[in-house]
Amino acid sequence: MNKQYPKDLLADMWFKMNLAREFENRVQWLFSMGLVHGTTHLGVGEEATAVGSILALKPQDYVFGTHRGHSQAIAKGIDIDHMMAEILAKATGVCKGKGGSMHIADPDIHYFGADGVLGTSPVMCCGTALSIKKRKENDRISVVFFGDGSSNEGAVFEALNLAAVWELPILFICVNNTYGMSSHITKVMKDTDISKRAIPFGMPSKSIDGNNVLEVYDTIVKARKHVLEHGPMLIVENTYRISGHSKSDGNLYRSKEEINAWKEKCPIKFIKNYLIENGVFNDKQLKAAAQDANIQVDHAQEYAKNSPEPIMENIYDDVYA
Amino acid sequence: MSEITYSQAINDAISEEMRRDEDVFMMGEDIGLYCGAFGVSKGMLQEFGEERIMDTPIAEQGFVGAAVGAAMAGMRPIVELMFSDFMCVCFDELVNEAAKLRFMFGGKVKVPMVMRTASGAGTGAAAQHSQSLEVCLAHFPGLKVVVPSTPYDAKGLLKTAIRDDNPVMFLEQKTLYRTKGEVPQEDYTIPFGVADIKRSGKDCTIITYGRMVQMSLEAAKRMQEKGIDAEVIDLRTLLPLDTETIIKSVIKTKHVLIVHEAVQFAGFGGEICGQIADSEAFYYLDAPIRRLGARNIPIPFNPKLEAETLPTVDKICASVEGLL
């Protein structure tokens, strides 16, 4: 072990990555049982990007997630009972059953949510960053996750430019999971090094292994400090979406071999090996923690299943403030 | 009371609200030293500084999206879109985000922002800088849509907009910027969803808003000489809509003309027709409801063609006379 991490931080990483994985596997299972209405976007295999990044932030930081954002919400500290209830379209859901999987948000914990239209979260994140700057909140930053697919949206370039020219306290985190729906990154980008997109905006950037939760954590700790002291930064976290894009995905665009090769690079396997090899936790301890995550997901599932449906009588309540 | 321009009324409303509430700020293209394309923000940079009167890049998605985010964080941003036609560039931020975030997030967030923009034809700016797109915005639950017709209304409605906790689309009428009207010195607001009967009459109801209000009043004055007594209702806000005032007036006059500058086809007039047809007022009608809007073409450049594309006082008079 070449670096000392606090034991409770490592425990938290292990637990939250397992919780995210178990949560999404459960959503997939509920989906296959016909219990999930609509659609859902899973990010199995991307857990280190969310957990490593958000554990390096502070609770007061604003976070905008992606439509593939269950693990981001979990890392930010969302109540999974209410998130599962939202996915099952219940009145007790975090969005009262009005948003669904694609719009999971909890402004109470400064998680401004998943968004269904790509590229817009980065410009909105400039707005929360602007408010931080105007209010001179000196230990707070605004963070936006977006994908390699979104990075081709015009709004993202506008966001990078605004952030740079206004010197906003904003951290752009591009989760490069290799595919935008079915389109491989090489099919939609001439130069696939997304970190270069910071260069014309005079912004530093870094491209890292998004499956190595420790590298993600270390990078974001430094990036947060940079943002507070000097302004915006772009981090590209390279990973892979093992799950399909959504329920419509027949995996026609990639091979089993490719998926299996990435399963070998699973971020949970990586941290498990690290924790055992460095003697931080033994196998039994890790299994027990994973089992705890499982129990929490069981609880969330039962809570959601037993929750009431929303009613039409108050449907107009949240259209206007 | 003092007589000021529509433009000054808007400037006063923003300035007074910025003095009252430090969370209010404004951003847009060239609103600082240049004072905006229509000179509305004259003197504001000097009073409030670059921090609160912010020039932006030419990036409507960027700064309108940033306004949405700043509002989510509890600020009260005002954005100036130089021409209302440019809303098409940032429709996503207005429609998919500002209008829907509160609902999608189960009521846990507010988006208290104002989008001010210069709307309408009559300046020789041709097809991409002359549209009246209010109906596009009125189609989205979650937004509020305001179209002021006088300096008094502009000031009172804009103050309400800035204090409102929802995204308000404020469509300024570019040919009215230099028009003058009486505005009180003291603080006042005008509630949304309350139409104003600008002229009371018994023979016909002209339902209108924005720039067409003055033209409808002019038409009513002309028709008075022919013994026709027209009532002119200024809707002031399209969303929320004051259907009660419309219905009462229609029951009284039994004749309706709807006038707007926007393209008549699928314009807001269609919604007003529907509201009347769905109400008890329908039974009181002595003639079919008539609409007068712009022809179904993009706004042409040539001044004669432009004028003929839009409603005119003559056309309003002819439409009313055809009804009676």
**ipTM of the shown complex:** 0.95
Kindly tell me if the per-residue pLDDT of A3 is higher than 80.
no
Mean per-residue pLDDT for B96-123?
Answer: 97
Domain that holds residue B319: 196-323
pLDDT, tens digit, for every residue of B180-211? 999 999 999 999 999 999 999 999 999 999 99
Mean per-residue pLDDT for B301-314?
Answer: 97
Domain that holds residue A156: 19-31+40-303
Which residue blocks in chain A are alpha helix, DSSP H? 7-32, 47-55, 70-76, 80-87, 120-134, 154-165, 185-188, 213-230, 256-264, 267-277, 283-305
Q: Which residue has the tokens 């709307």?
A: B119
- What the block records as the tokens of B311 is 């409603």
What is the tally of structural domains in chain B?
A: 2
At B112, phi and psi to the nearest 5? -80, 80
Least confident range of A171-175, A241-245, B92-96: A241-245
Q: Of B17, B129, B134, B261, which one is the catalytic site residue?
A: B129
Residues B201, B127 within the same domain: no
Residues B31, B131 within the same domain: yes
CA-based nearest residue to A75, from A33, A23, A152: A23
**Residue A13: inside a domain:** no
HSE-CB of B246 using CA atoms within 13 angstroms: 28
Banded model confidence at residue A247, pLDDT cuts 50, 70, 90? confident
Q: Given an 8 Å threshold on Cβ–Cβ distance, is A96 in contact with B75?
A: no
B49/A190 Cα distance (integer angstroms) = 43
HSE-CB of A119 using CA atoms within 13 angstroms: 16
**Residue A263: inside a domain:** yes
Q: Does A319 touch chain B (CB under 8 A)?
A: yes
Residue B255 CA from chain centroid, whole number? 25
Banded model confidence at residue B1, pLDDT cuts 50, 70, 90? confident
On chain B, the residues whose CB falls within 8 A of the CB of A165 are: 57
On chain B, the residues whose CB falls within 8 A of the CB of A162 are: 56-57, 59, 62-63, 66
What is the tally of structural domains in chain A?
A: 1
- What the block records as the tokens of B12 is 């006063």
Residues B139, B30 within the same domain: yes
**Residue A149: inside a domain:** yes
Mean per-residue pLDDT for B276-302?
Answer: 98
Q: Given an 8 Å threshold on Cβ–Cβ distance, is A124 in contact with B72?
A: yes
Predicted local distance difference test score (pLDDT) of residue A249? 85
Q: B interface mutation test: which of A67, A90, A128 has the most B CBs within 10 A?
A: A128
CATH code for the domain in which residue B129 is found: 3.40.50.970
At A91, phi and psi to the nearest 5? -65, -25
Kindly tell me if the per-residue pLDDT of A1 is higher than 70.
no
What is the pTM (predicted TM-score) of this model? 0.96
* Full strand arrangement of the beta sheet holding B230-234: B196-199, B230-234, B204-208, B256-263, B290-294
Average pLDDT of the residues of chain A? 96
B129 SS3 class: coil
Exposed/middle/buried for residue A25 (C-beta within 10 Å: 0-12, 13-18, 19+): middle
Residues B35, B177 within the same domain: yes
Q: Among the three residues B183, B212, B245, which one is the final residue of a domain in this structure?
A: B183
Q: Given an 8 Å threshold on Cβ–Cβ distance, is B104 in contact with A105?
A: yes
CATH code for the domain in which residue A199 is found: 3.40.50.970
Banded model confidence at residue A2, pLDDT cuts 50, 70, 90? low
Residues B9, B143 within the same domain: yes
Least confident range of A29-43, B256-270, B274-288: A29-43
Strands A142-147 and A170-176: parallel
Average pLDDT of the residues of chain B? 97
Strands B230-234 and B204-208: parallel
